Chain A
Amino acid sequence: MALKIVKGSIDRMFDKNLQDLVRGIRNHKEDEAKYISTCIDEIKQELKQDNIAVKANAVCKLTYLQMLGYDVSWAAFNIVEVMSSSKFTYKRIGYLAASQCFHEGTDVIMLTTNQIRKDLSSPNQYDTGVALTGLSCFVTPDLARDLANDIMTLMSHTKPYIRKKAVLIMYKVFLKYPESLRPAFPRLKEKLEDPDPGVQSAAVNVICELARRNPKNYLSLAPLFFKLMTSSTNNWVLIKIIKLFGALTPLEPRLGKKLIEPLTNLIHSTSAMSLLYECVNTVIAVLISLSSGMPNHSASIQLCVQKLRILIEDSDQNLKYLGLLAMSKILKTHPKSVQSHKDLILQCLDDKDESIRLRALDLLYGMVSKKNLMEIVKKLMLHVDKAEGTTYRDELLTKIIDICSQSNYQYITNFEWYISILVELTRLEGTRHGHLIASQMLDVAIRVKAIRAFAVAQMATLLDNAHLLTGNTQRNGICEVLYAAAWICGEFAEHLEDPMLTLEAMLRPKVATLPGHIQAVYVQNAAKLFATVLQKHEGETDSQAAQETSQLLIDRLPLFVQSANLEVQERASCILQLVKYIQKLQQKNVEVAEEVTALFAGELNPVAPKAQKKVPIPEGLDLDAWINEPPSESESEDEKPKAVFAKEEPKHSRSRHTEVDEKELARRREARKQEQANNPFYIKASPSSQKVYDAPGVEHIPVVQIDLSVPLKVPGMPMSDQYVKLEEERRQKEKADKKKKEKKKKREKRGKGRKGDSGPESEEDITPAHHVDIVTEEMPENALPSDDDDKDPNDPHKALDIDLDNLLSGAGSRPLADSEKLPVRTHRPEVLKSPAEDRDDNTIPQETKKKSSKDKKEKKKDKEKDRKRSKEDKKKKKKHKDVEEELPESLPEEVVQSEETKEASDLDFWLSSAPVPPVAQVVTVSSSAAAATVDSSSAAAAESEPEELKDTEPDDTKSSKHKKKKQKKEKEEKEKKKKKRHHHHHHHHSDAGAEDSVQNGTVEDEEPLPPMSNYSLLAENSYIKMVCDIQGNHQDESKVVVSVIFENKSDSFLKSMEFNVLDSLNSKLQRPDGAGPHDGLTVPFQLPPGVSNEARFVFSVQSIVMPQKLKGTLTFIVKTDESSTHEKLDFKLHFTCTSYLITTPCYSDAYAKLLESGDLKGSSLRLEGVNMPFHHLLARICFHHHFSVVERIDSCASMYSRSIQGHHVCLLVKSSDQTVSIDAKCDEPSLLGNVLDEIKQTFSKC
């Protein structure tokens, strides 16, 4: 056998391996393609062999060829073969090839499902790792669906190497199979606190990626991330978290407030530039989200800007680039802080690196003010001249226009200057942005009435020098400007000094080389000019000149009539006819000017873009309705089309037709000819157009036009610089003037049409040179508010927009619980399964009952495992130091809703609780508890909810509404899931199968549960009412958290509340260091009348097997307007055994093992006369006693809970005819006895 292998490998060693292939390709540089094709033939031969090593070698070579651009998809099946090799070496080659060339369209992928599953559960971690890596590249929706469960199991693998890969790949699974997000999320969240930093980083990575697309669903994780941010030292993780916060803050400004301080601390302390940069970025995001101009944040802005300046000044181009990038974000909200660094930014404009120049350009946009606009633009114009590449120059051009035109020309004080800038820009060679300049010219000329005369003069010069723009074909882009020039000259012809000259310029033969749409405008506006000229001449009673003008048009227009462009042709012939008619009238000495002008009378108002779209549809107008009755189909064939217009007509023409004979026609033709001959306006067929040019006249002396590549300084075209100087002088003068007439200062305000004028105070002084009346754009009355662009419907992330808060609470827990209690089957370390165990699990049938019949050997094994696990469990618990709690799960959906609003309020609580200096222990507890995610026990009683929410009410009502919708969705989803589960039954492992029952012990169509509350009355008097809830703290086995809600019932102000309890040997109130054992704790708030608030107190407990009662006193001062009195209220805190239990989910298999272990002592209880539906009963036990349902079959259910000290409590609840029997097992009999007593009490109460 060994000999055979050696022989095979000797055969093989003369096969080409990857190195040989590479070498061969390098040696065949001239006929590479040919060489490769022979290699591919060889590979095909190799793939046909049975030897897997040969195949793997071939596949490896294919991977290389794939990189060179060869399609290797034909070998997909062979790749699958190599993937399924048992040897790691080959498997890895196969997976690599698959990851490089498989995609959703590869059909052999569906053959891989089982192979991948096998590899995922391989005992060799590298097999698993390689499979995960490969899968991450080619996962399809099918694979994701089939393997989601396996990968989820791997998320709790014992090896961090596997865990981190499994966590990371979940993102890909979510993308392909969005339904997996909800069930997997709790476990993913749990991984955020994995002891291994790699796994933690992976989880952060995945959640950040998810949250980036749908941030609102992850808001509730903010407290957890906050904690990570303050505790983590891994820069990579920190960067991710900080980036995530950047995405979350816009949704929740209060979060921003909380972030500012730690972020600024980080900025000060970190030495990592990458981290510093991200902090600055997020602080910027925070500042943007907060309403701007908050005085106490100006320090943060200053800090950011200052740090960015350091970056920009750095010699490292990367930092410079990033500094500018971040700066542009600040710019939007805090332009002033950026403006002070103008020098630096202008300096960057001169940088040799184009990326940096572009960034600096972006910034300029916000740097301008009325004062410096001219200066900045002047500088940019210099750059325009210097710039060598067209892209950068075009970018400069658009930026100049952007800068000047921003917010309705807010910063332009002198429009003459702007127009001349635009005119100067027309000299740019080869720019693509001619139309941009043109539209600016039009816009300014139309909207700034005062500038029209100037603009028209400028445009006239442009038209006159049009050859400079059009001369070179390369300059085509810029000739768009002529469009604007022609239109402006025509429309505002009354401002023209010499309209005749312009008219002549517009009718030059060279115009015919312009693009059609420009010619059309030329023709039309020539007509307008003509009207003006006529009027002028008639005013001067210079009929000779008027007639010459008509003649000019008649001479030149035929050129346009011949145009190939329809628009030009049509307009030209219309106008030609018109002019001819006018000429005729002129010859009769009729005054026509007025009538001709009337043709173009009326002002054209600018209309806002989208104005048409925004016209609201009048009420009652149904655009889809028929205007007339629709024609019935049966009639249509034989009936003649109903003549809407004159019925008589066809008949009439027919009769006429018969009357007209040949003779008549001939006679008419003759008459027409006669008429045409006499008609001076009629253009005779042939030589007329040439004649035009033969005609003597100064205009027709051929002018040689010189195309200069260097633009001339066009006479009469003022340089913009000139204006800068003028403007300077004007401002000086104005200043002087102003001093004289201080009192009349306000009179000189800028035109009223200007809107959005929010220049800083100092700039108010600069008044525009003209009384600029910027005409605002017209909008239809009651136009609808602007509609935003919609998101891309194809975005795969849209499917991941799943409300996870809803999940967190929806799937199980009780009212008043919060987002933290997840329906986590995965929270428990018990669930940590190695793949081997997983396989065991699969062999165990789902039903617990059958398990008892398992053979003893296995039982023993299980026992051992179980013990190991519980050890692990304890270890883990110690590791967790944070205050975090789990609460019972399983509740009917109806209760979910109230809980959801609750949960929102918890986030609110976290957000609103300002970091209080840790004076008293209570405070530290509450704030640290807060930091540990939305604190669980903060849940308040349902009845006190409105008061508690008072300060955040608007928010809450909104969110609850929003959530209601979500809930509906969720319901649907659940149903869907249910169906799916049916279909893919075999795919689901025991844990998934048990999910339904774990979720909430109720079947969906069962009747709703009454609302429940765990808050019980602690004490009450006429001033104050205290209700409390006691919860175990699963992170610390000796701590119990008591949440007390204080409600002020009086009309007076309650303050200086002090909470004190007489400690017993077993239970002690945790007091701050240095406080005596009998000192009370100050309640960290005061209560205005009618308000309630919650405080939390931590107790340490030693033994938890017995219930306890502690006596306590609350002292407080009642303050009314006149007086203040000391009051006190005694209370008794009742620590039941139940309060030491923590809802802990448990899978049926683990549960069965637990029961089989025999470590547990039994006890039982019978309840008679319990008159409630079974699911209510279960919900009550779950809710009041912190149990979770493991499995439910009809009217029999197994339940589980765990004490803070790790005791297991198992219940088997059976119900028949108002009798409920509970069989219970626990490793601590006295604890069990007490718990059962308490359960009994619960049911005796109702």
Chain B
Amino acid sequence: MTSRGTPSRFLQSVLQNGVGRYVCQLKRLSIIFSKNAQSSLGVRGFIEEGVVDYAKYNPSTVVYVSPQSCRIPKIVAEYLNGNVREEIVTSKTSIQISEVLTKLTNQSGLDIIRLRKPFHTDNPSIQGQWHPFTNRPPCIGPIRPQKQDTEQGLSNI
């Protein structure tokens, strides 16, 4: 679809993350897989080898491992801003699943839609936005006090 037909957003961060301290935005991960189905083979392998290391390396994310009878193994990621993302990991290998988890960990929870601009700034102008009177001499000349005083003088505008 066109850019007007699909949603879009500006580049932003959740709660000015990084200005103060960096907070990992991934709140919890639920790994839903089957104990016997062949589509969850990679997930089972990952749970045997990699999930404990992942949980130790990311103490800020709670990992729930939930074996259910399901045809499609999923990883459900919940983020701090409330968004929930589901990744389907049918027939993926253990290494691919750990790559998926790394990707989910590094994302903020914002929607994966078109970014209108690849930059954002809170201070678009440092020396002041140009307006037609910038860099023009004042029309009246230096402002003097109305009562001419020899001691006092007014600075130029």
- Do A and B actually bind? no
A interface vs B, CB < 8 Å?
A: none
